[in-house]
Amino acid sequence: MADRKIISFENIKVACKNCSLATLCLPMGLAPEDVERLDAIVKRNRPLHRGDHLFRQDDSFHNLFVVKTGSVKTYAPSEDGGEQVLGFHLPGEIIGLDAILNNRHGCSAKVLETSAVCELPFDRLEDLAANVPSLQHQLYRLMSKEIADETHMLMLLGKKNAEERLAAFLLSLSNRFKRRGFSSTDFYLSMSRHEIGSYLGLAVETVSRLFTRFQDEGLVRVERKHIQIIDREGLESLVAGQRNHRDQQQAPS
Amino acid sequence: MADRKIISFENIKVACKNCSLATLCLPMGLAPEDVERLDAIVKRNRPLHRGDHLFRQDDSFHNLFVVKTGSVKTYAPSEDGGEQVLGFHLPGEIIGLDAILNNRHGCSAKVLETSAVCELPFDRLEDLAANVPSLQHQLYRLMSKEIADETHMLMLLGKKNAEERLAAFLLSLSNRFKRRGFSSTDFYLSMSRHEIGSYLGLAVETVSRLFTRFQDEGLVRVERKHIQIIDREGLESLVAGQRNHRDQQQAPS
DNA sequence: CGGCGGAATTGACGTGGATCAATTACGATC
DNA sequence: GATCGTAATTGATCCACGTCAATTCCGCCG
């Protein structure tokens, strides 16, 4: 009891309308009274800690999750203990949309650092969306964004080499931090080299070597998890890939 | 006029309720009267021919497209005339969901063979969905499926080698043909080796060599575009990837 | 403060698949 | 049926990146 009181500050729950993420998250584009209605179905839990799961593959699906602070990775575990990282999720990003299809989660989601996460019961959200066209539209938009983002990732994995992939990854993080009001040039990675490699389809050693190479070339400053972007344009021209190889031929009519 | 009459058989337009795809497509799970309402907003065009575009990258977005017969590829063109194939779409599959976000198509869509395609004005569909919960739900499901499919593809590109990718591709086609009432063991490819390679992140030559290898190993019979699956289980065990390499290590807690 | 264990780095080496280069096989057109 | 252009196959070579192995670094805990 006393205990509960002491840590009660953890329970401070920011209403959607006061949340700094309102312009990236579901409330985007909603009228104030609709934000209130959305607010009424959001569950806000106490912070989770590194290693906690939001859900595991094959869990039955009830809620979508939105990162409020911290970061989360989604991944597909494989029998043999290995895993394929599918995504890293920053504040304002929605997790679980792939589970609507079968009412079952197709991947696992694990917290990378102490994080706050909002929970949205999907059936209630769906009901509300049917009555609030702008919310319905925003849901479609968010799902569309998820599709577009994954398409972008497919292109990265399909035809970019290792350095183009890592450069794109760093720029993606940089841009997302910026939108969230953090520095776009100075940030900390919450994931390991191993996880970055898994996400980008590269070996850990390759990731490590590229970080040192990028640093030697004056593109970034790397100190363990601490990243500083020194030459953003340099990274961008890497991604654009002057040195792009595969598949430059003409397609058939 | 006479002309129009002569080819008028092309204009035979199957209503959704009579369409053989009703159980895979948007009408899935809708009550008959709701199918009628959906039917009312569907535009059915005359068949398109090989090379015709449904839309091009950066076109403004108005309609979703559903393949009725034939096949369509989506791809991202690059300045230099190259392209990255993003997907192959068979009857009953929806195209254009990634465009909802910005009201602009993020990729191009081109018909691979003579094909019939239904067109759905998205704004009218959205309005209808707001009034027909089962349609709204079906739309969420279809978008969720798109996300889950792309996730699956990310895993393929992220950690599978060339033969695992091609085996998975063949099995995917086989399964999709089966659901559509076609043979799952004997079919024709509507796309070129080059397009397969682009889709799978492989060089044309690699695709070609793998086809011959698979044939030599008695997994399939290949004769140009004509494919016969001889040993489905063999292909499946390839995909499962006994010989799987990358990333079998333990993840951190 | 010292010792332990996982994470990261660095180096040496091997290989899967890209690239380059011919050759062959089709399909379209007249 | 001859001609041409593109698709597909096949072979030879190369290299980006994975794998293996050793070392260093850092956070953690007694």
Over residues A207-218, the pLDDT tens digits come to: 999 999 999 999
Contact B123, B64 (CB under 8 A): no
- CA–CA gap between residue B189 and residue B177 (Å, rounded): 11
How many CA atoms are closer than 13 Å to the CA of A97, on its beta-carbon side? 27
Output the pLDDT for position B246. 43
| Position A122 pLDDT exceeds 60 | yes
Least confident of A174-178, A202-206, B4-8, B146-150: B4-8
Q: Are residues A151 and A179 in the same domain?
A: no
Assess whether B97 and B190 both reside in one domain. no
Question: Is the same domain home to A137 and A188?
Answer: no
- Tell me if A246 is assigned to some domain: no
On whether residue A248 sits in a domain, the answer given is no
- Write the pLDDT tens digit of every residue in A107-117: 999 999 999 99
- One domain, residues B136 and B178: no
Task: Looking at the structure, tell me whether residues A106 and A194 fall in a common domain.
Answer: no
What Å value separates CA B224 and C1' C25?
10
Chain A nearest C-alpha distance from B76 (Å): 8
Q: How many domains does chain B have?
A: 2
Check residue A200 and give its pLDDT. Answer: 97
- Same-domain status, A13 and A128: yes
Query: Any idea of the CA torsion for B51, B52, B54, B56, to the nearest 10 degrees?
Result: 70
How confident is the model at residue A211, as a pLDDT? Answer: 97
Q: In what order do the strands lie in the sheet with B63-69?
A: B43-44, B116-121, B63-69, B94-95
pLDDT of residue B162: 96
- Which chain B residue has the Cα nearest residue A127? B133
CA distance B224 to B233: 23
**pLDDT score for B244:** 44
Q: Which residues contact B235 (CB under 8 A, 6 or more apart)?
A: B167, B170, B171, B214, B219, B220, B229
pLDDT at A133 over 90: yes
The domain in which residue A224 lies consists of 161-240
B134 shares its domain with B175: no
Residue A201 contacts strand D, CB under 7 A: yes
When CB atoms are compared, the residue of A148, A200, A203 closest to B106 is A148
Cα dihedral A174, A178, A181, A185 sign: positive
Q: Each residue of B14-33: b (16+ CB within 10 Å) or e?
A: eebeebebbebbbbbebeee
pLDDT band at B242 (very low <50, low <70, confident <90, very high): low
**Mean pLDDT of the residues in chain B:** 89
Distance CA(A4)–CA(B180), nearest Å, equals 58
In A, residues 6-45, which contact B (CB 8 Å cutoff)?
none
> A106, B151 in Cβ contact below 8 A?
yes
- Domain finish residue from B136, B156, B176: B156
Tokens for B39, please give them. Answer: 């039917």
Q: Which of A84-93, A140-149, B49-58, B237-246 has the lowest mean pLDDT?
A: B237-246
Residue where a domain stops, chosen among B126, B156, B186: B156
CB B214 within 8 A of CB B220: yes
Res B8 pLDDT > 80: no
- pLDDT averaged over every residue in chain A: 89
**Could you give the C-alpha distances from A98 to A136, A243, A253, B93, B160, in angstroms and in order?**
17, 35, 35, 17, 21
pLDDT higher than 80, residue A8: no
- Kindly determine whether the C-beta of residue A114 is less than 7 Å away from any atom of nucleic acid strand D: no
Beta-strand relationship, A43-44 and A116-121: antiparallel
Residues A143, A205 share a domain: no
Amino acid letter for position A5: K
Partners of B94 on chain A (C-beta within 8 Å) are none
Dist CA A114 CA A48 (whole Å) = 6
Please say if the pLDDT value at position B214 is more than 70.
Answer: yes
Between residues 175 and 214 of chain B, which touch chain A (CB distance below 8 Å)? 192, 194-195, 197-201, 203
- Give residue B6's pLDDT: 41
Are A147 and A192 in the same domain?
Answer: no
Domain end (from B104, B125, B156): B156
Of A50, A154, A253, the CB nearest to B154: A154
* Mean predicted confidence (pLDDT) in B66-70: 94
Chain D positions with a protein C-beta closer than 7 Å? 6-12, 16-21, 26-27
Please report, for the domain that includes residue B43, its CATH number.
Answer: 2.60.120.10
**Looking at the structure, do residues A167 and A95 belong to the same domain, yes or no?**
no
Dist CA A112 CA A22 (whole Å): 23
| Of residues A84, A247, A250, nearest to B247 (C-beta) | A84
Residue A225 in this model has a pLDDT that exceeds 70: yes
Q: Where residue A242 falls among pLDDT bands split at 50, 70, 90?
A: low
CA(B191)–C1'(C24) in Å? 21
Kindly state whether residues B149 and B168 are assigned to the same domain: no
Q: Name the nucleotide nearest B224; use CA and C1'.
A: D8
| Average pLDDT of the segment spanning B74-93 | 92
The reported pLDDT for the residue numbered A16 is 87
Handedness of CA B58, B63, B67, B68 (dihedral sign): negative
Do A178 and A116 belong together in one domain? no
Q: Which nucleotide is nearest to A223 (CA to C1')?
A: C8
Contact A98 B151 (CB under 8 A): yes
Predicted confidence band of residue A79 (pLDDT cuts 50, 70, 90): confident
